[in-house]
Chains A and B, each alone.
Chain A
Amino acid sequence: MTTEFDDELLSAVLDGEADPQTVAAVQADPDAARRLTALEAASALVATPPAPATPERRAASIAAALAAAQPAPEVTSLSVARERKTAAAAPKRRQVNWLAVAAAFAFVLISAVVITGIVGGSNSADVVDTATEAADDAADATETAESFGTADSTAMAESATADDADEAVEDAMEEAMEEEEAMEDDAMEEESMDAEDAMEDDDSETALTTTTVTAERSIEPFATNNLLLLEEAIDLGVVVPVLQPTDPELLDVVNLDCLNPELPPDIDQFAFAELGEFAPPPQLVVVQFDPFDPSQVILIFDAEDCTPVG
């Protein structure tokens, strides 16, 4: 091998990037010409087109990419989902069935007046008049209660009723609230059962693994038909996409300073699941994988506030 022409120069000759004098000099040097031929053979080797994909696989790849262009399921960040959950869990201002309260109130009032009339020996016309007035007042109270809410209706009630009636109203309100509470409990229980059923269905359909992040079954976290879910995300109904490091946007996200290589405190809280044929575009959740073993999740972050999830 000549020492006058190195591979870089010869490679430049091969690529047509050397000046004519250099090309002539290489051709005149037998060692350089021999090495140039060897480099040319290497170049020709690489230039050999690989066998193409099968038509089926080719079509599948294109179809997968087209599917990725379709509107994706809504992806909600964990922080937003947490806020929603917190808001939902906060004590709700109870909605009272004021119609029931007012009806009960009117019934008690009329009964009290009638009883008072009988006991007091008033004539029947007075009793009827009084009862009618009381009923009118009760109707007013009902309308006002529907229009203005608790405080106003209570005031109206006070102006129109006696102490006994107040108690009756309170009892009725309590009953109405208890009834509503019971209905809410029933609804929640039903919802919970539905959710459990749905989870069971999911388990059977997707082989959801919730025990370990390493997942005993073979998973391909970068594959397009797999989604990574956090257990919390499942609980919150948040769709968490797998990040694909080939996505430039994801690389930007993954390069955030917040990604310190800390291990999560409880890795068991993560779960893998296949939720659909294609993953939605990654958005708000960052998943950091072991670059040498992508099946291993190192950390999962909420991309909104850069805090590790868990």
Chain B
Amino acid sequence: MQTLSDDEDLIRAAQSGDMASLEILLDRHHDRIRAVCARVVGNHADADDAAQMALISIVRNLERYDGRAKFTTWSYRIATNAAIDELRKHKRRPTSSLDDEDQHFEPVALGNMAEATAARLDVNDGLDQLPEEFRMPVILRDLCGLDYDQIAEVLEIAPGTVRSRIARGRGKLADLIGSISPDGNQDATGGVQGTDHDH
């Protein structure tokens, strides 16, 4: 079981130049960081690049990490910045956001039509239709499990804004799911549109 104190010990050792501790720290957090990057950029190649950039940035700035924020929060901030940079870098490059093995998630205990429809929606396509300001809080909340205060810290916005943006992001995704017919086709309304759920 990984605990905060484990991370703190590793960080201290890494800050003192212990490469073995640094490697353990990076190994421990890679998957979490890479997952955020993957959801933000929407494809594996860019996710790998963004994750690598994030790890490098963590290494380069570890000396200045003072423990005031949790390491996970601090590293999420770096990861989201790296992912956003990667996203902007490739914005004009035509890419397929669909990775075959990641196209459709396996529904977990889904028992109703809405959730069954969600299973037919590509995660990355759905997130790609969200404005960045909504996408990031939703990912940090639903994928990373951060609370509103932590998300506010990562994104440097007010907790109230976090709450509002998560609601709007989820609302848009819910509308997108609702616009998909049970056979998996998106209806003529084009999915995400402004709705009365928007504020």
Contacts and interface: CB of A to CB of B under 8 A. Distances in A.
Q: Do A and B bind each other?
A: yes
Interface of A: 1, 6-8, 10-12, 14-15, 17, 35, 37-53, 57-58, 60-62, 64-66, 68-69, 220, 222-224, 244-249, 278, 281, 291-294
B152 interface: no
Interface stretch (B2-10, B172-180, B183-191): B172-180
Contacts of A39: 170-171, 174
Contacts of B196: 1
Given A43-B142, A48-B123, A222-B85, A17 B170 contact: no
Range of interface residues on B (Cβ < 8 Å): 35 or more
Given A7-B171, A11-B166, A66-B19, A46 B112 contact: no
Interface centre among B34, B167, B196 (most CB of A within 10 A): B167
Contact of A65 (B58, B164, B176): B58
Contact of B143 (A42, A46, A246): A46
Contact of A61 (B52, B64, B114): B52
Given A46-B143, A64-B55, A69-B22, A53 B60 contact: no
12 contacts: A17-B148, A39-B171, A39-B174, A41-B114, A41-B174, A46-B143, A50-B47, A68-B56, A222-B85, A222-B89, A247-B61, A291-B88
Interface in B59-99: 59-61, 64, 78, 81-82, 85, 88-89, 91-92, 99
Contact of A41 (B26, B56, B85, B118): B118
B27 interface: yes
Contacts of A41: 110, 114-115, 117-118, 174, 177
Given A45-B121, A51-B101, A292-B92, A246 B85 contact: yes
B195 to A, nearest CB: 8
Nearest to B14: A69
B139 to A, nearest CB: 6
A249 B174 CA distance: 38
Nearest to A37: B114
B198 to A, nearest CB: 8
B38 interface: yes
Interface string B28-42: 001100110011000
Contacts of A292: 88, 91-92
A61 B59 CA distance: 12
A50 B51 CA distance: 13
Contact of A8 (B26, B48, B164, B176): B164
A290 to B, nearest CB: 10
Interface string B103-124: 0010010101011011001010
B123 A38 contact: no
Contact of B173 (A45, A61, A223, A294): A45
Contact of B118 (A1, A6, A42): A42
Contacts of A62: 23, 26-27, 30, 55
A245 B88 CA distance: 11
A61 B118 CA distance: 32
B79 to A, nearest CB: 9
